[in-house]
């Protein structure tokens, strides 16, 4: 094959089949992909633990299963292991009617068990490694600043780049695994110093701390795939990456990545590179975007209601996309109980599902708060709500969420956190 | 007749009918229904894309700005190429996005697909070409709207 990037002797040897035909194809895929984006070389993956986006055994993706079999037959695996996005189904905690179950188990995710067995053979860390928030301590796939990653999952990539200062491009499924298997990734985009410079200056001038999911959405829709440097948020968040702040940035980043295609943001005075390098991260010709109360309101009001009957009452709500941190889970439990108490109710007014990682769920279930949560009728799961809403039969159900990512990829209706609590308590939302 | 010069992602010579999407093509939504039902041709199932909804795109030149949507996009392109129900050509007006690029590369390397992809054809290309036009693609990335 012809290629433009410079390869080391070791990489060239792999490409020429010295370590087997399958690994040569893995390398060829990465080289061809890198060439498309002008990568000058391949660089070693320094944080060996990968994170894969494809966690679901959707029957449609037959070549995925065949490729995995080929890797397994060749004895290839991700030497550092990997975590992976959440599982698609959990009938114990996210109940389905028989028809939905049939579609999920026999049609959509018919290969789930087979696929999980394949994942185990190519390096899946353990059975609790299924979450989109692999970087939280309870899951423990935490890169260091400057580490080069081979990850996918847009919300995890933007968090790793922005909050942890690691370096990772917005990879697609399969290429995430290939980089972990061969140990190299193409050097372009967010791996380079130049690619991490901001081409937008965003000024947050709101009167109160903005809702993370709406602020992220506004910025994502404006800058699309560019890097924003955000002023004014440190006024609300401070200058330290506390648990509350990182939870905020997790939700903010997921919205920038899904409502746009942001892979990295800098927060003035807060995120690691902004703290170290300040305004030298901003390109000379950077554009400007000012976000005040009116702009946030405009963005929020622009979200379409995609329910078949826009006037319907929600029947199901998902909270925790991306998966909730432990502190967020505790916070929602208290908030739901308080909202119900204020409304004179003991039980939630609609099916209420909170989503978190298996590690956080295990920790939370060991506390008395878990009983307090389930006493309200709410349930706790570790699935991906997006994969639930992928089922075409769910499109007829009015689903509510406080996740801008879930809103974007499904027909779920977005509610601000305070409004979400009113929905859960059976109250009208203005 | 108008000619545009793009960059070759996956080369080949081809002539046939264009199907044009002015908006980004959501890969999963576009291909899912036909691929899951094992149909011999892809009838676009994305109701949010009126430009191509309901149209047969198998063996055609799919003209588009970029692809959008879920990170499964690359795998979906690989899948339809393996089933040989893919568009013969993907003609991008913009720089190819990473999901489509991974799909085209996976299809070439792992499926031996003869799918053609050319990117950076420019906004004028997408403004010029219309669904039903005949287009010719040359090995060097030249695309002619006949």
What are the boundaries of each domain within chain A? 9-191, 194-301, 316-424
> What does the pLDDT read at residue B32?
84
Q: Which CATH class is domain B2-145?
A: alpha beta
- pLDDT of A393 reads 83
Using a 10 angstrom Cβ sphere, with 0-12 exposed, 13-18 middle and 19 or more buried, the burial of residue A193 is: exposed
Would you list which residues of chain A are within 8 Å, Cβ to Cβ, of chain B? Answer: 25, 28-29, 32-33, 36-37, 53-54, 58-64, 67, 107, 152-154, 169-175, 409
What's the confidence (pLDDT) of residue A309?
A: 94
Q: Please report which residue ranges of A173-211 form alpha helices under DSSP H.
A: 175-182
For CA atoms A68, A72, A74, A75, give the dihedral sign: positive
pLDDT digits (tens, 9 = 90+) for B57-103: 999 999 999 998 777 889 999 999 999 999 999 999 999 999 999 99
Beta strands in A94-244 (DSSP E): 184-186, 198-204, 228-231
Angstroms from A132 CA to nearest CA on chain B: 13
Nearest CA in chain B to A224: B68
Q: What is the pLDDT of residue B38?
A: 87
Across the interface, whether the CB atoms of B111 and A63 are under 8 A apart is answered yes
A316-424 placed in CATH 3.30.499.10? yes
Nearest to B6, CA basis, from B110, B98, B139, B129: B139
Q: Check whether A287 has a pLDDT greater than 80.
A: yes
Cβ contact (<8 Å) for B82 and A60?
no
Task: Supply the pLDDT for residue A392.
Answer: 79
pLDDT at position A39, please? 98
pLDDT at residue B70, rounded to an integer: 75
Which residue among B75, B101, B111 places its CB closest to the CB of A173? B75
- Residue A374 pLDDT grade (very low, low, confident, very high; cuts 50, 70, 90): very high
Q: Report the alpha-carbon distance of residue B127 to residue B60 in Å, rounded.
A: 18
Q: How many CA atoms lie within 13 A of B75 on its CB side?
A: 27
> Hey, CA dihedral for A154, A158, A164, A167, is it positive or negative?
positive
Per-residue pLDDT tens for A7-26?
Answer: 999 999 999 999 999 999 99
Of A28, A37, A174, the CB nearest to B75: A174
Residues of chain B found within 8 Å of residue A54, distances taken between Cβ atoms? 71-72, 75
Chain A residues touching B105 at Cβ < 8 A: 29, 32-33, 36
Average pLDDT, chain A: 96
Mutate to test the interface with A, among B48, B85, B102, B108 (most CBs of A within 10 A): B102
Domain ranges of chain B: 2-145
A31/A83 Cα distance (integer angstroms): 24
In this complex, do B79 and A60 lie within 8 Å of one another by their Cβ atoms? yes
Average pLDDT value for residue range A321-350: 98
Assess whether pLDDT exceeds 90 at residue A395: no
Chain B closest CA to A381's CA: distance in Å? 22
pLDDT at B49 over 80: yes
Question: From the list B82, B96, B108, which residue is nearest A62 (CB)?
Answer: B82
Cβ proximity of A82 and A177 under 8 Å? yes
What burial class does residue B87 get, using C-beta atoms within 10 Å of its C-beta: 0-12 exposed, 13-18 middle, 19+ buried? buried
| CA dist B28 → A156, A259, B70, B74 (Å) | 21, 17, 7, 9
Lowest mean pLDDT among A56-70, A79-93, A124-138, A281-295: A56-70
């Amino acid at each position: 094959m012809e290629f433009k990037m410079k390869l080391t002797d070791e990489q060239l040897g792999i490409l020429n089949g010295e370590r087997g035909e399958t690994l040569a194809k893995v390398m060829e895929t990465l080289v061809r992909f890198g060439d498309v984006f002008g990568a000058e070389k391949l660089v070693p993956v320094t944080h060996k633990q990968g994170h894969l986006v494809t966690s679901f055994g959707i029957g449609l993706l037959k070549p995925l299963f065949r490729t995995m079999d080929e890797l397994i037959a060749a004895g290839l695996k991700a030497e550092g292991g990997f975590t992976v996005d959440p599982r698609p189904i959990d009938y114990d905690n996210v109940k389905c009617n028989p028809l939905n179950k049939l579609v999920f188990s026999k049609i959509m995710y018919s290969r789930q068990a087979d696929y999980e067995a394949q994942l185990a053979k190519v390096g899946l860390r353990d059975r609790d490694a299924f979450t989109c928030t692999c970087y939280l301590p309870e899951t423990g796939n935490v890169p260091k600043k400057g580490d080069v990653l081979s990850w996918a999952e847009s919300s995890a990539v933007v968090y790793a780049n922005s909050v942890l200062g690691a370096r990772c491009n917005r990879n697609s499924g399969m290429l995430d695994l290939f980089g972990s298997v061969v140990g190299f990734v193409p050097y372009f985009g967010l791996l380079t110093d130049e690619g991490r410079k901001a081409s937008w200056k965003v000024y947050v001038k709101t009167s109160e701390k903005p809702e993370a999911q709406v602020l992220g959405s506004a910025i994502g829709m404006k800058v699309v795939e560019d890097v924003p440097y955000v002023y004014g948020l440190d006024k609300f968040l401070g200058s330290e990456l506390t648990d509350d702040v990182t939870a905020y940035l997790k939700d903010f980043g997921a919205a920038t990545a899904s409502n746009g295609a942001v892979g990295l943001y800098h927060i003035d005075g807060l995120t690691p590179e902004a703290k170290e390098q300040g305004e030298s991260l901003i390109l000379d010709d950077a554009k400007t975007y000012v976000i005040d109360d009116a702009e946030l309101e405009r963005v929020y009001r622009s979200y379409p209601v995609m329910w078949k009957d826009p006037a319907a009452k929600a029947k199901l709500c998902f909270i925790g996309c991306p998966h909730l941190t432990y502190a967020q889970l505790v916070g929602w439990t208290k908030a739901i109980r308080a909202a119900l108490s204020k409304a004179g109710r003991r039980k939630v007014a609609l099916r209420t599902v909170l989503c978190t990682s298996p590690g956080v769920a295990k920790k939370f279930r060991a506390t008395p708060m878990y009983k307090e949560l389930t006493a309200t009728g709410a349930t706790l799961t570790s699935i991906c709500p997006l994969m639930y809403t992928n089922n075409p039969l769910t499109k007829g159900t009015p689903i509510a969420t406080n996740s801008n990512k879930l809103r974007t990829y499904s027909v779920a209706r977005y509610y601000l956190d305070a409004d979400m609590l009113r929905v859960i308590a059976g109250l009208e939302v203005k | 007749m108008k000619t545009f010069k793009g960059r070759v992602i996956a080369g080949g010579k081809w002539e046939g009918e264009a199907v044009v999407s002015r908006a980004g093509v959501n890969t999963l939504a576009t291909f899912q229904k036909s691929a899951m039902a094992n149909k011999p041709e892809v009838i676009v199932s994305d109701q949010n894309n009126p430009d191509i909804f309901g149209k047969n795109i198998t063996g055609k030149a799919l003209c588009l700005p970029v692809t959008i949507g879920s990170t499964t996009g690359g795998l979906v392109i690989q899948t339809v190429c393996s089933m040989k129900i893919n568009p013969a050509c993907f003609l991008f007006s913009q720089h190819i996005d990473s999901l489509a690029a991974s799909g085209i590369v996976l299809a070439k390397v792992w499926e031996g697909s003869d799918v053609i992809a050319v990117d950076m054809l420019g906004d004028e290309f997408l403004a010029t070409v219309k669904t039903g036009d005949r287009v010719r693609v040359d090995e060097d990335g030249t695309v002619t709207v006949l």
